[in-house]
Amino acid sequence: MTRRLWPRGLRARLVVAFVLVTVLGAAAAAWSSAGSASTALVASAQRRLTETIAGQIRAITPQLAYPPDQGTLDRLRAAVGPNTLVTYRNLRSADGAGTGLVTDALRTAVRARNRLVTQRITANGRPWLLVGAPIMITASDGGRTPSGIEVYAVRDLSGVERQVDGLARSAAGTAALALPLAMLLALLAAGSVLRPVRELRDTARRLAAGDLDARSPPQGADELAELTVTINEMAASVQASMAVMRRMQADARRFAADVSHELRTPLSTLTAVVEVLATVTDEMEPDARESAQLAITETHRLVRLVEDLMEVSRFDAGTVRLRVEETDVARAVRDCLRTRGWLDRVDLVAPEEILLRVDRRRLDVIVANLVGNALRHGEPPVRVHVSASREQVRIEVTDGGPGLPERVLPHVFDRFYKADAARTRTPGSGLGLAIALENARLHGGDLTAGNADGGGARFVLELPRDLEDR
C-alpha cells in the first residue's frame, strides 16, 4: 500500500520530498515556538495568580485575631476573593462552587510543607489552578509557626487555554503558508536537477533506437556531469564495437554466400556423378559398395548444407520475399508428409478447408523441418495437429521422446546448435530449425519450442490469418 501511495516519478518524488521537508520543518519550528510560548504563558498566568493571592493573604493577615472565629475566617475568605475556601480545625468558610475542586493531595502538601503550594487540574472539561497557603504566625524573635488557618483558592484558566489554542492555530497557519512557497521552490529545484537527467534519458532512448551518434553535452562539474561524460564514453565504445561487429558480420555473411555460390557448380557435377554411382552400387564388392553409399550420403548432406547456407544468407541480406497464395493448410501439411514418405510414421490431425494466405513452399519447409527433427531426435508417436481460430492457424508437432532439457530450450533455434556434443554427424545441416523460425517470422507469425504435458518435445507454429502480400 505504501508503494502505491508514494509517487513513482523522480520529479514527483523530489517535489514531494522537498515539500514534506520544508513543511515539516516549518511546522516543527512553529510548533516548537508555540509550545515554548504556551509554556511561558501558562507559567506567567500561574505566577501572576499566585502572587495576587499571596499578596491578598499578606495584606489581611495582620488584622486577624488568633485563635480565629467564624467571622475571622469569613473576612479572610472575602479578602482573597470568590472560589476561596478557608479552614481552621472544625471551622470552614467557603464561597463558590469551585471550592469543591480542592484535592486531598493539595491539602496534604500544604500541611506537610507549611508553604504556598499550587496544582493544575482539569475538571468538567476546563483547566483550573489550585492554590493552597497556610497562615503563619511570626513571633517577636522572628520565628514562624503555623496558625492552623489554611487558605485554598481556585482560579479558572480557560482564558489562558484560549490563548494557547490561538498560538496553536497560528502555528498551523504558519505551516500552511509555507506550503505554496515550498511547492514553488520544490518545482524550481526539481526542474534544475532533472533537466540534465531528462537530457540523459533522451540520449539513452536515441541510443536504444539505434542512433549511436547521440551524445549529451556535460554541464557543470557535479555528479550528473560526471555521469554524462561516462555515458558519452560508453556510447562511443558501443559505437566502435558495433561498427567492428557489423563489419565482421557482413564479412561472415558475404563469405558464406560466396562459398555457397561457388560450391553450387561443383556440387551439381558431383551430384550427377553420385547418382550414376548409385545405379551401379549393387554390382560392387561389399567394401566398395559401403564406401560408395557413404559418398552418396555425404554428398547429399553437403548439398543440403549448401542450400541451407544460401537460404540463411538470403535471410541475413534481407532479400527473401514471400510468394503468397490461398492455401489449404491441412492439404499442404499432408502433401509435405506424403512427399517425404512420412504418412505412415506420423499421426496427422487436421480438419479440412483451413484456408490461409501463405507461401506454400516456405510452409512446406517449416513443417518438414519440424517433423524431420521429431523423427530423428524424438520417439514415436510423432503427431501433427492443425487447428484454426479467427485470428490465426496453429500447427503443433509433438513426439513421444524424453523432451527437451531445460539447458537446451534457449538454444533450440540457434544456428548449428547441437544438444548432444557427442553427436557430431547428423543427417541435417544444423540450420533447419533456424530457417523454420525465420520463415515463420517472415509470415508475421512465430515458432516456439517446449515440452508437452505428457512428455516429449513440442513445437508450435502460429501464423496470422490477416497476412498481406510481402
Burial of residue 305, with CB atoms counted within 10 A of its CB: 0-12 exposed, 13-18 middle, 19 or more buried:
middle
Taking each helix axis from N to C terminus, what angle separates 286-317 and 432-442, rounded to the nearest 10 degrees? 30
CATH topology of domain 224-315: Helix Hairpins (1.10.287)
Cα 72 → chain centroid: 82
Cα-based distances in Å from 414 to 46, 171, 310, 409: 90, 70, 17, 10
Bridge-based pairing state of the strands 446-451 and 382-388: unpaired
Q: Which of 325, 442, 333 is nearest to 387 (CA)?
A: 333
**What architecture does CATH give domain 2-165?**
2-Layer Sandwich (3.30)
Query: Which letter does DSSP use for residue 94 in this model?
Result: E
Any residues with CB less than 8 A from the CB of 176 and at least 6 apart, and which?
A: none
Any residues with CB less than 8 A from the CB of 42 and at least 6 apart, and which?
A: 157, 160, 164
- For domain 323-464, the CATH class is alpha beta
- Domain ranges in the chain are 2-165, 224-315, 323-464
pLDDT truncated to tens, each residue of the chain (470 aa)? 445 555 555 556 666 666 666 666 666 666 666 666 667 777 787 788 888 888 888 888 777 777 888 888 888 888 888 888 888 888 888 887 777 888 888 888 888 888 888 888 888 888 888 888 888 877 667 677 787 888 888 888 777 777 777 766 776 676 666 667 666 666 666 666 667 777 777 787 887 787 878 887 777 676 777 777 888 888 888 888 878 877 776 766 676 666 666 666 776 777 777 777 778 777 777 878 788 788 877 777 777 777 777 777 777 777 788 899 999 999 999 999 999 999 999 999 998 888 999 999 999 999 999 999 999 888 999 999 999 998 999 999 999 999 999 998 888 999 877 665 544 455 556 788 999 999 999 999 999 999 998 889 999 999 998 765 44
